Amino acid sequence: MFSLLRLEIRRMLTDTRFLTLMLAMPIAMYLLFSTIFENSPPVNGMSESVRDMISMAAFGAIGAALLATAPRIAQERTNGWLRQLRIMPVSTGQVITAKVLAAMVWGLPAIVLVDVTAVLAHGVHMAAWQWVSIGALLWVGTAPFAALGTFIGYLTGGDAAFGVTYGIYMFLAALGGLWMPVTILPTSLQHIATVLPSNRFAEMGWRIASGHAPTVLGAIVLAGWLVVFTGLAGVLYRRSNATR
């Protein structure tokens, strides 16, 4: 599995278009959204600028995880690499794990870039332990989204992958409270937010920023989604036969 993981990461590093996307997109998104939503109200004892930074770091990490998985996997189904893998001695679990871990690598740059941009552009300020713990938790928390992207990749056809991925990405961001606080949404949608992985993901960062520990329930929701998405991805991987 490590051999496969190494190769997955190596091929991402040789893909300049992919690298540009992974590094430029989080910064661009942050600058765009932090300007648009400059006047959103403070929530939970943390300044708007901190809240926005964490939301955008989460948004960037989620996007990185989704885009590092779904499009390429959908392409592998079309070009036949998937079939080739299935006749080699590597298990479904190893394939899925390698995909998820390789994608998670890109969560950290997204988070760090947003944090740095926030400090430079808007002078955002937090205690050192907050920077580190938020960064670490958000990085680990990218896992369910890498799994989601993997699932989408094995689910959709090559052309549809980008569209479906972006659609789900926007849905998770909007209803997860990453653009506007959940309290602004109608009550019915607020209930949905509590089970969305995007909301629970950013919540870990918001809690720490306002001086609290993350919730256990939030961690359970994220872990639950991770299990669901990796399970589904595994099933689809085994089932995708593509008898030409």
Residues that bind another protein (CB under 8 A): 3-4, 7, 10-12, 14-15, 76, 79-84, 86-91, 241-244
Neighbours of 56 (CB within 10 A): 30
For another protein, the closer of residues 194 and 240 by Cβ is 240
What interhelical angle do 92-104 and 216-239 show, nearest 10? 130
Residue 27 Cβ vs another protein, minimum distance, rounded to whole Å: 24
Residue 11 Cβ vs another protein, minimum distance, rounded to whole Å: 3
For another protein, the closer of residues 15 and 38 by Cβ is 15
Q: Which two tokens stand for residue 75?
A: 């392409």
Residue 236 Cβ vs another protein, minimum distance, rounded to whole Å: 14
Angle formed at CA 48 by CA 30 and CA 148, multiple of 5 degrees: 50
Q: Which residues have C-beta within 8 Å of that of residue 69, sequence separation ≥ 6?
A: 99, 100, 103, 146, 149, 150, 152, 153
Residue 7 Cβ vs another protein, minimum distance, rounded to whole Å: 5
Q: Which two tokens stand for residue 144?
A: 């369910």
Residue 164 Cβ vs another protein, minimum distance, rounded to whole Å: 22
Q: Which residues have C-beta within 8 Å of that of residue 65, sequence separation ≥ 6?
A: 103, 104, 106, 107, 142, 145, 146, 148, 149
For another protein, the closer of residues 86 and 210 by Cβ is 86
DSSP tag of 184: G
